[in-house]
Amino acid sequence: MLNIALSESDAAITKKIYAALAKELNLYLIQKTPKVMERVKSDIEAALYGCPEIQSLKNGRLKADFGLTSDPTGPIVSSILSTLNIKTEKVSAATKTFKGGFTLTMQPNDYSNILSLSASKQIIQGGSIPWLKWLLTLGDSIIIANFGVEYGPFGRSGMARMTEKQRPFKVNSAFSGTNSDNFITRALSTNKTTIEKSIVKVLT
């Protein structure tokens, strides 16, 4: 009968096994990162285009309220998606547990990328309306005290006009947002589970 004596302790051998597995997992995550990026970007794009605010800007209440003369949603969604970044966190195997994965970041907190777009403003005689800033940051605050929106087949959009009798004007509460709670954050929050499942699907 052959007896084999191990020169290392069980703990040392286990540590090496976990380290080797962590190395393999790192290579696997790096390999899968482009596909994860592709799937997550697709999910977020669908989430944004499917959200009530984007739909309303296309041809609904918000288009009328802001007097939009064209559809601004394409450039806005594209700009948001362009900020998506995925960082692969190195897998470690400390204390027999694996730690690592992906960190997703998107959209600067000041919204400078989309607020600087020409699509974020509606040109009017003598100036422009910063409607996207209103939608993203002003919540239910009164924006124009002396005028409000009257709906009908008139105005720039052919859907509404501003009149004194409907005053004051503010962003409709069904769509209004603040710096920390707006259509972007809500679209991501609502679809968080879908995004997580997509990542898992790519990795399995």
Residue 116 DSSP SS3: coil
Q: Where are the alpha helices (DSSP H) in the chain?
A: 10-50, 52-59, 61-66, 73-82, 112-115, 131-137, 183-190, 192-203
pTM, full prediction: 0.86
- The pLDDT assigned to 100 comes to 80
**Residue 18 predicted with pLDDT over 90:** no
**Residue 64 predicted with pLDDT over 80:** yes
Beta bridge partners of 114: none
Please write the tens of the pLDDT for every residue from 116-132: 999 999 999 989 999 99
Higher pLDDT, 98 or 203: 203
**Residue 74 predicted with pLDDT over 80:** yes
**Residue 5 predicted with pLDDT over 70:** no
- The pLDDT assigned to 33 comes to 93
**Residue 3 predicted with pLDDT over 70:** no
How many CB atoms are located within 10 Å of the residue 171 CB?
23
Token output for 128: 């422009």
Query: 58, 51, 56, 50: which is closest to 75 by C-alpha?
Result: 58
Please write the tens of the pLDDT for every residue from 28-55: 889 999 999 999 999 999 999 999 999 9
Higher pLDDT, 146 or 24: 146
**Residue 88 predicted with pLDDT over 90:** no
Helix (H) or strand (E) holding 62: helix 61-66
CA distance 35 to 202: 7
Beta bridge partners of 124: 127
